[in-house]
Amino acid sequence: MESGKLHVLFLPSFTPSHMIPCVNAARLFAAQGVKFTVISTKYNTLLFQTTIDKALELGQEISVHNLKFPSAEMGIPEGIENLSAATTLDILGKVHAAILQHQNAMEEVVEEISPHCIVSDMFYPWTVDLAEKMKIPRILLYPTSFISHCLSHNLEKYESCKSVKSDSESFLIPDLPDKIEMKRSQLEGYLKEETPFTKVIKSVKESEHRSFGLVFDNFYEFEPQYADYLAKVRGIRRYWTIGPLFYFSNKVGKSEKIADVNDSCLNWLDTHGTNEVLYVSFGSITKLSNAQLIEIALALEDSNQPFIWVVRKKENDQENQQESWLPEGFEERITKENKGFIIQGWAPQLKILNHPAIGGFMTHCGWNSTMEAMTAGVPLITWPLFAEQFYNEKLVQVLKVGVSVGAYLWNFSPVIEGPLVESKQIEEAIKKLMSNSEESREIRNRAKEIATLAKKAVEEGGSSYQNLLDLIAELKSHAFGVNC
């Protein structure tokens, strides 16, 4: 173990929504003179290689250790090394199993590297045992909201979902700072009955209490009531909010918000007025059925609202087969009228959200997307699908910074084939948010107020800025036995 310089090892879970916050956290540490190593695999590293390259250009001391992903052994196609890349349920299961198989290899690498501290994703609870064995701190990184932990905690504690007779009936989640109701259909399976994931969640929570502390990709001012409530009900002794990680890490790294890209969509945005365009994207994992895409297209056209729409398609769908998921003549009409811009695949989301023409974001309520929108001051149309997304929608409702399309079914699958959200329902939400009504103006103003708080949090003297310094000082004190 190198003396004199703090060396922190980061272990992200292999899915983009967890890898990116973890690497951004590593960049923050590096900007404060900390040496860091990230454990990854060949194809996963490609997702954040640009970030690593920029850190190296700034003279930061970083390294990436790529483990061999057991693709051939597990019958997984070459290049698929994370959950978002899985194209079928069968491959999804194999990828998950392959990730679990990495534990022994990861342990060997960590012991060989011998860092001063481990920062681990929530889905690696075993790292707390390894840290205790090595007599070093283990930090648990949560790329999630406080409200999501509060809701899941109370749902487990009070079992209030069992008070209703049907999945479609609303029930109250008791003992929260706000009145929050949900439907049983919006909950993950383990909250309704014992499932294999029940054991995983139990292990995560047990590792929480044995960890040196918790780090949240969040800023305290965003949801202070739920930060305080969680610490109280879960008995959390020590935690640090150091977010928004994507914004903070770019700020201290003195780099652009995102890598250079084809900016044709930004040029298109330049042709539209302030707050005029709706941005539509459902994250790095979600692929919607063709039938649902048609409903979205109909709603976008009927709303008469300019839009940028990011579409992730199934692997066997060719780009030139848009007639299967777009109404006849749709693309020709929106192009002629300059009403829409469709992106198939990856999009420069940060640049889009920060463009003045963007007035709203239709989103799946993933935490990264929610934080990026709030930091840009962009209000939301919420359409949660799985994971903790229905909880994040509740935060949007509590803060009054968006409107809902009315999604009601938790559904995790490579392609979401569930009940359709119909075009009229979607159109109504678009008009409600994007109009110039008093309600929409109030929603927009609240979003901009949150953006101001987010940016203040990472300024010198801000809550996230100070929390980062305090955390590093504690780790240095633990590693070297001196006050830093």
At 417 the pLDDT is 83
Identify the band that residue 324 occupies on the pLDDT scale cut at 50, 70 and 90.
Answer: confident
| % of the chain beyond a pLDDT of 70 | 94
Single-letter amino acid, residue 55: A
Name the token pair of 455: 């940016």
pLDDT value, residue 320: 42
Cβ atoms 12, 22 nearer than 8 A = yes
User: In sequence order, what DSSP letters do the residues of 167-228 get, joined into one string?
Assistant: TTSEEEE-S-SS-EEEEGGGS-GGGTS--HHHHHHHHHHHHHHHSSEEEESS-GGGSHHHHH
Helical residues (DSSP H) of 305-388, grouped into ranges: 330-336, 349-353, 367-376
Helix (H, G, I), strand (E, B) or coil at 48: coil
**pLDDT tens column, 438-459:** 999 999 999 999 999 999 999 9
Residue 260's pLDDT is 42
Q: pLDDT tens digits, residue range 74-122?
A: 999 999 999 888 878 788 889 888 888 889 999 999 999 999 999 999 9
> Which residues are catalytically annotated?
18, 121
Domain boundaries, the chain: 7-257+457-480, 264-454
**Residue 424 burial class via C-beta count within 10 angstroms: exposed 0-12, middle 13-18, buried 19 and up:** exposed
Decide: helix, strand or coil at residue 251.
helix
- Position 314 scores a pLDDT of 56
| Lowest mean pLDDT across 77-91, 274-288, 378-392 | 77-91
Mean pLDDT, rounded, for 299-323: 78
pLDDT given for residue 322 in this prediction? 58
pLDDT exceeds 90 at position 359: yes
Checking if the pLDDT of 65 tops 70, the result is yes
Helix-strand-coil percent breakdown of the chain, rounded to 5? 50, 15, 35
With a cut of 80, say whether residue 255 has pLDDT above it.
no
| CA 379/CA 382 separation, integer angstroms | 10
- Would you place residue 4 in the very low, low, confident or very high pLDDT band (cuts 50, 70, 90)? confident
Say what the pLDDT of residue 280 is: 99
pLDDT of residue 339: 97
Mean pLDDT throughout 281-297? 93
> 3 burial class (0-12, 13-18, 19+ CB within 10 angstroms)?
exposed
In the 8-state DSSP scheme, what is residue 116?
S
Tens of pLDDT, residue by residue over 113-158, are 999 999 999 999 999 999 999 999 999 999 999 999 999 999 999 9
Query: Both tokens of residue 217?
Result: 């990709």
Stated pTM of the model:
0.94
Going across the sheet that includes 7-11, the strands are: 62-67, 35-41, 7-11, 117-121, 138-142, 213-216, 239-241
User: Mean per-residue pLDDT for 334-346?
Assistant: 94
Q: What is the pLDDT of residues 191-209, one digit of tens each?
A: 998 888 889 899 999 999 9
Q: Which residue has the tokens 């889009």?
A: 352
The DSSP symbol for 160 reads: G
Domain 7-257+457-480 annotated CATH 1.10.260.40 = no
Structure tokens at 19: 């890898």
Average confidence (pLDDT) over 273-291: 94
Which residues of 4-98 form beta strands (DSSP E)?
7-11, 35-41, 62-67
pLDDT in the model for residue 321? 57
pLDDT score for 393: 99
Q: In CATH, what is the architecture of 264-454? A: 3-Layer(aba) Sandwich (3.40)
pLDDT in tens, 212-251: 999 999 999 999 999 999 999 999 989 999 999 999 888 7
- Alpha-carbon distance 78 to 211, whole Å? 36
What value does the mean pLDDT take over residues 294-323?
A: 81
Query: Residues 445, 309, 385, CA angle at the centre, nearest 5°?
Result: 80
- Domains 7-257+457-480 and 264-454 alike in fold: yes
